[in-house]
Amino acid sequence: MAPKILQSQAALLWRLVDRQHGVVTRSQLLEHGYGTEAIRHRLASGRLHRVMPGVYAVGRPRLTTQGTLMAAVLGCGPGAVLSHGSAAAHWGILGAPSPRLEVTVPAHVSRRRPGIVVHRRLLADGERAERDGIPVTSPICTLIDVATRLGPARLEAAINEADRLDLADPESLRAALDAISPRPGTGVLRDTLDRLTFTRTDSELERLFLRLVRRAGLPEPETQSRVNGFRVDFYWRELGLVVETDGLRYHRTPAQQARDRARDQAHVAAGLTALRFTHAQVRYEPGHVLQTLALVVNRLDGPISVTPVPSAVRFG
């Protein structure tokens, strides 16, 4: 009977280790019937590898990125969650991985772990989430935590990225800020959302284009509106002008190019003027982009005053 129990316990433990991306805690080993001597034997034989106090990698010492994140959370004890920059990178809200691991533990816990920045705060139920099985602060909580670290452009980009990934749209984010108690980050985030210049865009390329439009003094367009059944990058409703910006990732394949042509043809058939600028033009030839826009806007709406942008200027 004893071997069957041990086999059953081993199977349960392996399933737990798999869910936890290859790591396990000492207390979990004890709960599954592995005593102190069994743990010591497995450490000596290379079946367990110490990652940090009370946390072990199973089978091999090298951890995946997810395993490293899970080990950090487990190593900080019950109630710990990945947070701040580490959470933002894990959600994909910030492009670059966080250079340091950050974990938030309950307010009453006093714990330090080498290589981990430990924050202490009482988290509400809605501020906790899980991604890839790893406990993490919710996307909205994460945006609040990193808001004071990011400049205006990076914070706006993070908000847009959270929206693009369907993690948190600006409307739900603004409503959440109204419902929670003020803390570092809420004011900065609220100011960003309330700024008249904040608009929703899908890419850094679109933000560069919008910056060019504003610098030139052109009328402010709508962004990400649906026109003739398509979502368009920029739309001047009064002028009947649609502008699309073609990034490097999404407009290379023949199928995508065919869809782009169909979109443009639908707009022209509906009586609109459709313009399309490439990544290289927006970033490296802003003068050409501005001159083209000015000529089209003048034709559609009469002469307007446009601030010239030297052709040598590069955006980004």
128/122 Cα distance (integer angstroms): 11
- Mean pLDDT over 157-162 rounds to 89
Query: 116 and 209: one domain?
Result: no
pLDDT score for 258? 81
Do both 25 and 128 map to the same domain? no
CATH number of the domain bearing residue 237:
3.40.960.10
Statement to judge: residues 190 and 213 lie in one domain: no
Report in angstroms the alpha-carbon separations of 230 from 167, 170, 224, 263, 276: 22, 21, 9, 7, 14
Mean pLDDT of 46-56: 92
Mean pLDDT, range 172-189, rounded to an integer: 88
**Exposed, middle or buried: residue 282 (CB in 10 Å: 0-12, 13-18, 19+)?**
buried
Identify whether residues 58 and 72 lie together within a single domain.
no
pLDDT of residue 253: 62
Q: Is residue 4 part of a domain?
A: no
Q: How far apart are CA 120 and CA 112, in angstroms?
A: 11
In a domain, 311, yes or no: no
Q: Residue 201's pLDDT is what?
A: 66
Domain boundary among 155, 170, 194: 194
Domain boundary among 151, 166, 194: 194
Kindly report, residue by residue over 278-312, the tens digit of the pLDDT: 877 888 888 899 889 888 988 887 554 445 445 44
Structural domain contains residue 147: yes
Same domain for 220 and 137: no
Question: What local confidence, expressed as pLDDT, does residue 197 receive?
Answer: 62
The pLDDT of residue 99 is 74
Higher pLDDT pick, 178 / 314: 178
Residue 1 has a pLDDT of 35
pLDDT (0 to 100) of residue 180: 87
Q: Distance (Å, rounded) from C-alpha 205 to C-alpha 211?
A: 10
In a domain, 87, yes or no: yes
Interval 187-196 mean pLDDT: 83
The residue among 194, 225, 245 that closes a domain is 194
Domain shared by 98 and 146, yes or no: yes
Closest by CA to 75, choosing from 116, 106, 37, is 116
More confident call, 98 vs 159: 159
Please compute the mean of the pLDDT values over residues 60-84 and round it to a whole number.
93
**What does the mean pLDDT of the chain come to?**
85
- Does 308 reside within a domain? no
Percentage above 70 pLDDT, the chain? 88
pLDDT in tens, 197-210: 676 666 677 888 88
246 pLDDT exceeds 80?
A: no
Cα 209 from Cα 125, distance rounded (Å): 40
Q: Are 79 and 105 in contact (CB under 8 A)?
A: yes
User: Is the residue at 223 inside a domain?
Assistant: yes
Residue-level pLDDT at 234: 92
| pLDDT of the residue at 247 | 65
187 and 274 housed in the same domain: no
Which of 49-58, 152-161, 249-258, 284-293 is predicted least confidently? 249-258
Alpha helices of the chain — where are they, by DSSP H? Answer: 2-19, 26-31, 36-44, 65-75, 84-91, 139-147, 152-164, 170-179, 186-194, 204-216, 254-269, 279-284, 286-301
Total of domains in the chain? 3
Tell whether 80 and 166 lie within a shared domain. Answer: yes
Phi-psi region of 59 (alpha: psi -120 to 50; beta: other; left: phi over 0): left
Is 71 in the same domain as 53? no
Residues 90-145 have pLDDT tens digits of 999 987 767 789 999 998 888 888 889 999 999 988 899 999 999 999 999 999 99
The Cβ-side half-sphere exposure at 57, using a 13 Å CA radius, reads 17
Say yes or no: 71 and 190 in one domain. yes
Is residue 259 over pLDDT 90?
no
Q: What is the pLDDT of residue 136?
A: 97
Letter for the amino acid at 133? G
Residue 169 resides in a domain: yes
Residues in contact with 28: Cβ distance below 8 Å, sequence separation at least 6, in sequence order: 13, 16
Domain extent at residue 131? 67-194
4 pLDDT above the threshold of 60 = no
Q: In terms of domains, do 188 and 210 share one?
A: no
Do residues 165 and 230 share a domain?
no
Residue 137 parent element (H or E): strand 134-137
